[in-house]
Amino acid sequence: MKEKNPVILSRDQHPISRKQIDPDCLKVLYRLHRHGYKAYLVGGSVRDLLLGRQPKDFDIGTDATPSQVRKLFRNCFLVGRRFRLAHIRFSGNKIIEVATFRREPDADELPDDPDEHFHFVQNVFGTACEDAHRRDFTINALFYNIADFSVIDYVNGLEDLFNKQLRVIGDPLVRFVEDPVRMLRALEFAARLDFSLDDNILQAIHTHKALLATAAPARVREETMELFRRGIAGRVLEQCRQLGLLPHLLAGYPGTDEGIALLEKIDQRTHSGTDIPESLSIAALYLRLFMDSCPPTADINLTQVLHKANEIITPHCRYFSIAGGIRHDARELLIGCFRLARGRGFRGEKRFLQSPQLPKILELFRLWSEVRPQLAPLLQEWRQASHNHQTQSPKKARSGQRPARRRTRRKKSAPGHKPS
């Protein structure tokens, strides 16, 4: 690749101050620099600092190889089978990630065994310019150079940042085939930053949407959870639905108007500072489909409801290898909403009112009732019932447990009992 001259903003031409950079990250940058290596802040942190936002983490790019980095830091560990990285550990479990600049290898450099391609491609070291070009979006490929506090731009990212425009580096048709997760990331960053999407990104997503189903489920799950963490799940998943990407993203999930509206309510909750557990996001995604499959008016017992809940969420949980505990909680939320929607007066109500899951179930039902106002009177009734139950038996309700059964002690020397 021909090296291009980058656009460079000197310290007085940009707003990034060292005071905004994590002090441990600064230590690592300075030490690399003092030993003669290039030391850049890279990726999301430069983008966020230029936008006046607080970065989630500070990553470093350098021309030192991982083993050269390790020699400089006692607290350094090399990690990553797929992507070799140096982790510098600091107190409080803080990790500063240092990656050696990478480049895309030429076709004739690839190993003969196609199975080894992916690993090989991730680990070919290159120059800073090459490293910028292998990144996903122009705004994610800016560097901050500790040597002179300048910002370095090889890909026109500064202009796109200024124009609030998300643009893929290179041709999206090619870059999405290389890594289909970039399609989801494009929608995610545009929503997160309120940037507009280049037209060719939307067209390329339309063309290559089915490829997302071939991406590693663990990566897709991580990016999807990021949508919930950022409070943009409703917006982005609706966009995925319109683009036909949604079923390829979520193991065949078709999406419903009501499901998306519920996600928007959950996003509002996230914006007000509440963490959304994954079980709640799964239950919200599938609530409408679940309720369609077992309407509260149907003559159906709780065992059948449990089977329905399993049928609905199991393909999702299997596909994304979701832990049994999360799956169990999601299922309990669905069944709980069914019980609330069915109304009061059924068998087992007293125990249900003692369930430790009830507050979470009521919360999901509350969000649902905002989407379906006809549920509001039922919500009120159940809230009252829960309140009455707590005030009548505060201890039991607080612990959420049934009183322990009295155990009868087995006599040590009962007749016929052989000590083992």
> Hey, which residues are catalytic here?
57, 59, 136
- CA dihedral 176→320→225→200, nearest 10 degrees, is 20
Of 56 and 206, which CB lies nearer to Mg ion in the complex structure? 56
- CA–CA distance, 333 with 176 (Å, rounded to integer): 36
Residue 102 binding target from ligand ATP, Mg ion, none, CB below 5 to 8 Å by type: none
Q: Spell out the residues 6+ positions from residue 406 whose beta carbon is closer than 8 angstroms to its own.
A: none
Of 57 and 363, which CB lies nearer to ligand ATP in the complex structure? 57
Minimum CB separation of residue 184 from ligand ATP in Å reads: 9
Of 34 and 56, which CB lies nearer to ligand ATP in the complex structure? 56
Q: Where does this chain bind Mg ion (CB under 5 A)? A: 44, 57
- CA–CA distance, 324 with 196 (Å, rounded to integer): 39
Minimum CB separation of residue 390 from ligand ATP in Å reads: 40
Minimum CB separation of residue 230 from ligand ATP in Å reads: 8
How many C-beta atoms surround the C-beta of residue 398 within 10 A? 10
Helix 199-208 to helix 181-193 angle (10° resolution) is: 140
Residue 179 binding target from Mg ion, ligand ATP, none, CB below 5 to 8 Å by type: ligand ATP
- CA–CA distance, 59 with 162 (Å, rounded to integer): 22
- CA–CA distance, 366 with 373 (Å, rounded to integer): 10
Of 220 and 287, which CB lies nearer to ligand ATP in the complex structure? 220
Q: Spell out the residues 6+ positions from residue 124 whose beta carbon is closer than 8 angstroms to its own.
A: 102, 103, 104, 105, 109
Of 80 and 296, which CB lies nearer to ligand ATP in the complex structure? 80
Q: Spell out the residues 6+ positions from residue 190 whose beta carbon is closer than 8 angstroms to its own.
A: 166, 196, 197
Residue 291 binding target from Mg ion, ligand ATP, none, CB below 5 to 8 Å by type: none
Q: Where does this chain bind ligand ATP (CB under 6 A)? A: 43-44, 56-57, 135-136, 140-141, 179, 181-182
Residue 140 binding target from ligand ATP, Mg ion, none, CB below 5 to 8 Å by type: ligand ATP
Integer-rounded Cα Rg, in Å, for the chain is: 27
Tokens representing 101 are 């600049």
Minimum CB separation of residue 48 from Mg ion in Å reads: 9
β-bridge pairing 7-9 and 150-153: antiparallel
Angstrom CA distances, 112 to 83, 115, 177, stand at: 20, 9, 21
Minimum CB separation of residue 139 from ligand ATP in Å reads: 8
Beta bridge partners of 59: 42, 97
Of 41 and 312, which CB lies nearer to Mg ion in the complex structure? 41
Q: Spell out the residues 6+ positions from residue 50 whose beta carbon is closer than 8 angstroms to its own.
A: 14, 15, 16, 142, 151, 158, 161
Residue 354 binding target from Mg ion, ligand ATP, none, CB below 5 to 8 Å by type: none
Q: Closest residue (Cβ) to Mg ion? A: 44
Residue 370 binding target from ligand ATP, Mg ion, none, CB below 5 to 8 Å by type: none
Minimum CB separation of residue 360 from ligand ATP in Å reads: 27
